[in-house]
Structure 1
Amino acid sequence: MIKNIKIDNILNYMIVMYAFLIPLSRAGIAIFSTSLLLVWFFSNDFKLKIKYLIDNKITIYLIIFFILSFISIAWSDDISGGLYYFRKYLYIIPLFIIASTLQSRYIPYIISAFLSGMFVSEMFSYGIFFEIFQYKNILPSNPTPFMHHIPYSMFLAFTSLLILNRIFFAKRINIKIVLSFYFLTVLINLFINSGRTGQVAFILTLFIIFFLNIKNRVIALFSVTIFIITILYISYNSSPIFKSRVDTALVESKKILKDDYCTSWGRRAGGWIVAKDIFIDNPIIGTGLSYDMVYLKRYIDKNPNIFNNYKQNSQCVRTLYHYHNYYIQTAVRLGLVGFIIFILIFYYIIKLDIKDREIKNILIIFISVFMVSNLFDNLFHSQFGESLFALFIGLFMAQNRIEKGLDNK
């Protein structure tokens, strides 16, 4: 018994370390994902943990989604690519370990460890931005030290909102001051980086935070509107990167309206047009899982009337390596069946009964940021995105498990 208790304690310490490393290291994520699984097999009450997972609807729909994804490779045009694509879903595995093992006293440590990891990441980002030091070949114009700028912007958006939520809950003024300073550094970092995905997720989720924490709806709406206008005005006039990205987005939007899809946003819009037609042809179970956009390229070749100015636009859209929208990608590859299962995962996450108000707020914030971000990129199929999902959804499920006293049944 003493041995088993020590194993569970080791697991919880490992989860804390995993939370710290998620913003910092691909290798760290891979090592801890594997290590957590191996140690978990020897944890106490293993059968009880399996029973809890089997009885949980989030777990059920996640497993069904992954089984369908794997089976769909059979009707894919790219079986080897489908297998390669599927392997990245293995980074979700820590979710099941965290959900079934995490103990109550470690939850604050996990959140603090994640924030500490983000702080270290920020120090690297600012060091690169101000040219204090050089890290690998990363340019000051896009200071994202450990991951691509799109997932990094999502991490920054979630971190800033997590801190803002903590400011509302903090009782001591000195804690509020420290958190406010940290919030400001993360917010600036978000808008000096080129990831528009996180910026959009941040702006939209801000409304939710203010409405969650301010009872008077009129005051909440007025406050958040002024806050957003101020942030956007300052960012546009003080961050050359943000100004450039906004101006570029406006130019690209006008080109899309003129049927010119040879821009960053244009290629995405063109891909979504093709995706709509592919989905109509394969509405129930989709085209199957694949790594390369084989089906999209073949569909464009077979349908020369799909675009105006076909020759130019088709060549541009063919360069897409994914749909830059996980919902569209899921609907295309797994059809209506896969899409509904995917949405049900989030439905049951949102429905989690959590009494702790701060943790419940964090759940709502996380789901909002994550779901909005997946409108613009495939963050449910990226190492960093999946690991963040595994950590926090596992934490929310664990909080629900603890509050219900399921460990004692």
Structure 2
Amino acid sequence: MLTLAKKEIDFKKYISFVLIAYAFSFPVSKATTNLFEVLAILLWIVEGNWREKWQLYKTNLLSITIISLIGFSLLSILWHGNTETTFRYVAKYRHLLIIFVFYSSFDTRYTKAILSAFLSAMFISELMSYAIFFELIHYKNISPLDPTPFMSHMTYSTVLAFTTSLLLVMLFYEDHLKYKIFYILFFLSATTNLFINGGRSGQIIYIVLIITLFLSLVKNKIKAFFGALFILLLTFSLAYNFSTNFHNRSNQLYHDFDNVITNNNFDGSGGARVALSILGVHTFIDNPILGTGLSYRMYNIEKYAKKHDFDAQYFKKFDDYHSAFLTISVQLGIAGLIISLAIIYALFTFQITKQEYRLMSILFAISFVIFSFTHNTFHTMNPMIFFALFGGYFNTLGKKGTSNEF
């Protein structure tokens, strides 16, 4: 009776509905995102069909890389010990299970609904951000100088930059004038929101995405390059002159790098990232085979800081190398490096036949990879959700047999 009842339930439909709610929740609420994540995973487990699912996963590169990351992280207990720390560390990878839920159990008839849900929530997030910026409301302890209501400014700026690129792709492939006008207005508001917030990662990603878009959508590549350059110069010039936050943070970044070059001083946000990369690379070189093991702190950071004449006390306050791929490589050695490269490769090689979705997937890959070189994206909730949501989504659209279903 139970087996018969299970067969009568359309699990794909209900899982797809939950994933749509998950996409909507991501930009606006951690609590509801967690709720729908758990619900999707529970439905996926109850759905069963594990033999069929395994056949899908074992031939899919992104699935293999995630299994490798989790599996090798657990396996590292054998030579590094720290069982409790390892299990607590790996437990955060539960967010990545959504990638497997998407790949085996998402109905691609709801492809557009995922994007619509996500963009609707981003619009709500923007409205909140503007309301805080203009001091129309007070939300928690968020300052009007950095109005990022629902996530850190680094993550929000990255997601905003990706959102602007989605809107431009949708604008290019849209036939109806009223929707084109809507996408243009949404793009302008999202771009403005990007530059009144404090996340420089997203602003850097924005540059790369705009150039990629112009080169992809405009046949004449010379015109495309100079068109992108004009848009970027205009945008950054307006932002520098009218956004106090962007103006100050741009000057601070310049000051940080000037301090590195002229004074060999790596204090400050920009200099610290350069120093952490140096420290991470040298730590990896010293521990290339087995790595240093999973930890919530950097391995022998004081020793390496002193070795390079950095301020050891200053760098003790950092938990990781501010780079997901570097952190994985240091912790897991050459296996971690291979897994990191495989994740990057997988993100750029989804076999999506519809051109607009293929382009969106490339834009996501660029966004996430650049973000991952400035942040430990595989150990913070919102960046992991960003990866699981869109990595899982585009990975599924590239699955064999789905090319004409959305």
**TM-score class normalised by the smaller sequence:** over 0.9
Which residue of structure 2 lines up, in the alignment, with residue 24 of structure 1? 28
Change (3 A) 1:271 1:198: same
Residues 141-175 of structure 1: per-residue CA shift (max 9 Å, x gap):
11111111111111111111111111111111211
- Give the unaligned 5+ runs of structure 2: none
Change (3 A) 1:314 1:106: same
Match of 1:284 among 289, 292, 306: 289
**1:4-403 counterparts in 2 under 5 A?**
4-43=8-47, 45-76=49-80, 80-257=84-261, 258-300=263-305, 304-307=306-309, 313-401=311-399, 403=401
- Give the distance between the partners of 1:170 and 1:401, measured in 2 at CA: 25
Structure 1 position 299, deviation (Å):
4.1
The answer as to whether partners of 2:260 and 2:271 remain within 8 angstroms in 1 is: yes
- Give the distance between the partners of 1:380 and 1:199, measured in 2 at CA: 21
Structure 1 position 296, deviation (Å):
1.8
Structure 1 position 5, deviation (Å):
4.5
The answer as to whether partners of 1:151 and 1:385 remain within 8 angstroms in 2 is: yes
- Give the distance between the partners of 1:114 and 1:199, measured in 2 at CA: 20
Deviates more, 1:75-84 or 1:271-280: 75-84
The answer as to whether partners of 1:268 and 1:317 remain within 8 angstroms in 2 is: no
Residues 331-365 of structure 1: per-residue CA shift (max 9 Å, x gap):
21112221112211231332221111111011000
Change (3 A) 1:406 1:334: farther
Between the aligned residues of both structures, percent identity stands at 32
Deviates more, 1:263-272 or 1:197-206: 263-272
Residues 106-132 of structure 1: per-residue CA shift (max 9 Å, x gap):
000001001111111111111111111
Structure 1 position 41, deviation (Å):
2.0
Q: Letter of the 2:308 partner, please give it.
A: I
- Give the distance between the partners of 1:46 and 1:69, measured in 2 at CA: 23
Q: Letter of the 2:295 partner, please give it.
A: S
Q: Letter of the 1:192 partner, please give it.
A: I
- Give the distance between the partners of 2:182 and 2:41, measured in 1 at CA: 36
Q: How much is the aligned-residue C-alpha RMSD, in angstroms?
A: 2.0
By relative contact order (CA 8 Å, sep 6+), the higher-ranking structure is: 1
Change (3 A) 1:249 1:73: farther
Change (3 A) 1:4 1:247: farther
TM-score (norm 2): 0.93
Structure 1 position 242, deviation (Å):
0.3
- Give the distance between the partners of 2:347 and 2:323, measured in 1 at CA: 20
Residues 178-210 of structure 1: per-residue CA shift (max 9 Å, x gap):
010011111111100000011101111211111
- Give the distance between the partners of 1:202 and 1:248, measured in 2 at CA: 19
- Give the distance between the partners of 1:76 and 1:183, measured in 2 at CA: 48
- Give the distance between the partners of 2:129 and 2:260, measured in 1 at CA: 33
Deviates more, 1:264-273 or 1:189-198: 264-273
Structure 1 position 76, deviation (Å):
4.3
Change (3 A) 1:143 1:4: farther
The answer as to whether partners of 2:26 and 2:33 remain within 8 angstroms in 1 is: yes
Q: Report the 3-state secondary structure (helix = DSSP H, G, I; strand = E; otherwise coil) of the residue aligned with 1:401.
A: coil
The answer as to whether partners of 2:284 and 2:291 remain within 8 angstroms in 1 is: yes
Q: Letter of the 1:306 partner, please give it.
A: H
Structure 1 position 267, deviation (Å):
2.2
Q: Letter of the 1:20 partner, please give it.
A: F
- Give the unaligned 5+ runs of structure 1: none
Structure 1 position 391, deviation (Å):
1.4
Q: Report the 3-state secondary structure (helix = DSSP H, G, I; strand = E; otherwise coil) of the residue aligned with 2:10.
A: helix
- Give the distance between the partners of 2:88 and 2:302, measured in 1 at CA: 19
Aligned pair count? Answer: 400
- Give the distance between the partners of 1:272 and 1:105, measured in 2 at CA: 43
- Give the distance between the partners of 2:332 and 2:198, measured in 1 at CA: 31
- Give the distance between the partners of 2:118 and 2:35, measured in 1 at CA: 17
- Give the distance between the partners of 1:155 and 1:251, measured in 2 at CA: 27
